[in-house]
Every structure is written in C-alpha cells, then in structure tokens.
Structure 1
C-alpha cells in the first residue's frame, strides 16, 4: 500500500448522517520542515486517486518534494477513503451517506492539523473537483491558506454542469444490472454508456476536429479512443463510488454552510488567499465565464486562463505537455509571489 490512512472515528456530515469508523486515505511527498511552512495540499478529482495526481509532482516542478511537503488527500467516495464500496453494512453501496465538498475539506483539515500540527498552508491546488475542494479550503479556512490555485474547476456547480451530470448518471443507472445500486456483478453496460456520454464533454470540439485523439494521444481511430481511453477510464471504477462523488460534485457550493448561508458572493469575498483561478478556455462544463465571476468577487484573485483546445483535460491528468508546463509555471509564479 503506497498511501496512509487517518482513522477519523465517527464523522457527522452536513446533512446529519454519520460515517462510522471513517477513514481518510492520503499520500505525502517530501518532508515537513521545522517551521511547518512548506505545505501544499493537493486534493483528488472525480474518480481520481493519488496516483492520478502525481503527474504534477516531481523534481524541478512547483510541487517539488525536495522543497515542499505535499499532501494528497483522497476524496470520500473514491474507493480508498470511506466509500460505498468499502463501508460495511448497513451503510454500504447506495446506502452510503451523502457527502459534500464541505465535509471532505473538514476531514482534510483534521488531517492537516491533528496529524501534522500544521497551522499555515502555502498553497492549495487541484483540478476539476480538486478545484472545488480548493475553493472550499480558501472559504472555510481563510486565515490558514496563503494561496489557492484551482484549475478547470469552480466554487459552485453551475446549473448547466448539473444537467451534464444528470446525463452521466442516467446512462450509468439505466443498466438493468445496476439494480438500484445493489448489483451483484459490475454494471458494465452502464459504465460503458457513461463513458460515451462523458467523451463528448471532456475534450473540446476543436480537440476532436484536429484529431488529437489520434495525432497527439496515439489512438488508431475515434472508436479506439472511445473504447480504450474513455471506457477504459470508467470500467475499473465502482458504480456506487462514481455516483457518490457525482452527488458531491452536483451539490458543490462554497456558500452552502453555516458560515455563508448560501451567499456565494459573500463566500468568494471571504477568500483572502492570493489566488490564481485557471479555467480552460475550451472547457465545456467549467467555462471561463464562471471563473470571471468568481475572480470579480474575490479580493486577491487573478484570472489566468489556460489557452488550450484540450477542453477540460487541459487541466489533467498530465495528458498534454504544453498544458502541464503552463500550469506548473503558473504555480511556480504563485508560490514565488
């Protein structure tokens, strides 16, 4: 096992439900210095695990283990932290409690403070749902977080984004084998259908027009890409885990808590961290317009678009070297500021 577990005990969630004997999986890189001021928190994305984040960590990068102490906490529901797939009866499978991004960041805060005794965080960064958690860190713990850099993510799931995810969910759950979440065998047809729905959204129109699936990624045809990349991405995942994280995504909102009472502008204004908000200009479900609204309501934020035709995947997981270099360069710039 190349990761560690923080035993959380009973975790009472925002909605009043409880995860009993909760577990937060995490991985660290580098060494926490004596001053405990070299900390970077780097949450995972939808369906992603720590290995899917490691493309941004390495020698000479902004997230360099020789200089930084990098913590990758894994989302609740991702299969390694407490999830539908690993929680014992009766809260297993579709009975797993509904978890918000707020709940996720609250237990991550316990990891940072209780396990490591950290009081200041140099940077929180993340892609996609990792970006959602990054915004939450900035809004929930403004005095603790010095910098944030959410990329290809948002502070609140937009209505259009919600609808996109309804299509993903409908494709997965329409498989008769899904059986309301009580499947005996993997709902393979549903997972493959979900992947096909997702394929039209993850990359941009220009990406497909330029045939980058073939010319840049090396697939032999469009069908090969749809099967090998997209179906290959989701088939190894557990369906209930995917649905649990999808609910978390759809209900993502940094203001949906007792701190801000649903006032999104108030929550954004409370993020005092120096921020680089980095949307992909061709991202189909986290469009740059949403990021412009966020930046306009944050006191110390810059709008830093990723000028790429790789759509949402401009942000990860390390597929396009030019986008990787841009993101890494901006993280270095932010850390140096």
Structure 2
C-alpha cells in the first residue's frame, strides 16, 4: 500500500514561465527523524510519473539512505498527481490548461519545504533517478551553499535533442487517441496510454536486455506478457494523461542553464556547481547515454563519472534488479562517508 503523505502549502506560487499557481501544494513524505541540529537531511526527488513510494527501493536499514541515520525527504514533483497537477488543480488552470513548470520551479518549491517548513539550512546531499537526477543537478546550481554533495543517476542537466524526439513520440501516442479530446476527456485515454507504454518499452531497457530475455527474470513469461503486464500496467496504474504531458514538458525543457543568471548557458551553470558529485549514467541507457554525462561532468569542477555496468538500460536506476541497486547504493555510501 502507498505510504501516507503530507502537503506543504506553497501559496500563490509564481512560475518561471510567468503563470501563478494559486493555492499550490507540494506533496511529500519523510523517512527517519530530523536530528536536533537539523544536519542529517537528504533530498530524494521523484521522477517522470513517479510517486514517493516508488522511491523506497533505495531507502532502508543498512543502505546508504538508512532512516536510522538520515532524514530522507521525498518531494513529489509538481504535475505527478499528488502535488499540484493538472488532475487536481481547479479551473482555470485545470487539465490541459495547467501552466508550464520548469525544473527550476520544482526545486524552488522543494527548497521552500526544506528551508521554511523544516528549518534546514544545509543538506547532507541530494540524489535522484532520471527526472530526479535533473532536479539533483538543479539543486546544486540553484542552492550551492546548501548542497555539498550530489549523486544524480541515469539523468542529465540538460535534455538532449534525441531525448526530446523520443518524448514527442510519447506525446503523440497520448494525444492522438480520440478519447483524449484536447485534454478535456471524461475518461482516461486508455488506448493512448497503452500506445505510449509501447513507445516507452523500446527505450526503457536496452537491446541487449531484450536479446537476453531478462524480462523473464522479472516474472514475465513472454515478450507480449512483458509489454502488457509491465509496460501497459505501468502507464495504467493511476497515471493521468494530462499529468504525464505536464511532466513531459518539464522533461523536454530541462536545462540548468535556464537558471536565472546564466542566460541559457548550461556549461556555465555546470561549472558553477561546487558540490562534490558522483554522476552515474547506465552503460546502455538510451535516454541518457554515458557519453552525454561524460560531457556534462567535464564542466563540473568536483565531479566523478562512474558508469553503471550491464544491460538494464535506463531501468538500471529503477530498482528492478539487485546488482544495479547495489552499485548505486555503494556509490552513495561512498559519497556520504567521504
């Protein structure tokens, strides 16, 4: 069962693109206890369509993110259905009229939670997978004095054009379902969501993963069983089409260079990161290949690149297999212990 969560009122939250989300809220949950001097907090943001409980695979006794030692804050992204989103915002910003949210906005909302609600002046670290990795980079650019360490995995500080093209296919799959009806649907456009799942299926895992039929290790009896049971099931599991499209816009427009003061220059923004960083791309990630992160790390003054070996592609960072989870956890333990 999903964990309970709290909501932090953001009030009238002005977004980078100019709109104001009135009465905005940030949904979050925490693991462990904040110590007396408020010095043991780690921020671990959610990812594309992810909810806080879907981050729990990297939190636990004996792991780097051990609640007995750290106060782990998992904020839900704006747009994910729990925080302010197309599906829960009243008119006039409801549904397809939900305003554009950038990673800068996401992190500014999280900073308000961390600093204003919890009274935390300095974090231990920020970490995250995929869009969570993008938020991790953004934390380090937006609040360098507060973030001494980061570990982004399977994600980037700027969304590549190849990634943008992939997301266009996901967008088209959802919006060309007649039931989508311009976003003013009365029921979820299930056929569009199933089509989006099939688009995603060719990208989330690598060619070698399919060649080796590793989906059988996940309990699926055939390729079609995997496509329906894992991928279609994933997109139909309480996920709303307009929410997915809102988060997709955030992903497509990811660029730490759009942080105020950098004028769109992502290389300068990366160079401004003072945090000690271990950046973990996956060897066969089709969204965020290692060479992309090698390029980004080259501008960061205190960063190390480590490639997660193996064939699980982007989902090396999704908690789906013990080997990759152990690799990520070991790197995080090293970063936190250093």
TM-score calculated relative to the size of structure 2? 0.98
Aligned to 1:232: 233
1:88-107 equivalences in 2 (<5 Å): 88-107=90-109
Aligned to 1:267: 269
In the TM superposition, residue 185 of structure 1 has moved relative to its aligned partner by: 1.2
In the TM superposition, residue 235 of structure 1 has moved relative to its aligned partner by: 1.1
Aligned to 1:33: 35
In the TM superposition, residue 304 of structure 1 has moved relative to its aligned partner by: 0.9
Aligned to 1:290: 292
In the TM superposition, residue 257 of structure 1 has moved relative to its aligned partner by: 2.7
Aligned to 2:116: 114
In the TM superposition, residue 259 of structure 1 has moved relative to its aligned partner by: 2.1
Instruction: Identify which of 145, 148, 157 aligns with 1:146.
Output: 148
1:36-47 equivalences in 2 (<5 Å): 36-47=38-49
1:62-101 equivalences in 2 (<5 Å): 62-101=64-103
Aligned to 1:223: 224
In the TM superposition, residue 38 of structure 1 has moved relative to its aligned partner by: 0.8
RMSD of aligned alpha carbons: 0.7
Gap runs ≥5 in structure 2: none
In the TM superposition, residue 48 of structure 1 has moved relative to its aligned partner by: 0.2
1:118-197 equivalences in 2 (<5 Å): 118-197=120-199
In the TM superposition, residue 90 of structure 1 has moved relative to its aligned partner by: 1.4
SS at match of 1:53: helix
SS at match of 1:54: helix
Cα deviation, 1:53-73, whole Å, max 9, x if unaligned, reads: 011000000000000000000
TM-score calculated relative to the size of structure 1? 0.99
Instruction: Identify which of 237, 245, 248 aligns with 1:246.
Output: 248
Q: Structure 1 residue runs of 4+, over 6 Å off?
A: none
Residues 284 and 314, structure 2, Cα contact 8 Å, conserved in 1: yes
Instruction: Identify which of 286, 290, 301 aligns with 2:303.
Output: 301
In the TM superposition, residue 89 of structure 1 has moved relative to its aligned partner by: 1.2
SS at match of 1:198: helix
Distance 1:219 1:263 in 2: 45
Distance 2:259 2:39 in 1: 29
Residues 32 and 67, structure 2, Cα contact 8 Å, conserved in 1: yes
Distance 1:122 1:26 in 2: 18
Gap runs ≥5 in structure 1: none
Distance 1:79 1:115 in 2: 22
SS at match of 1:149: strand
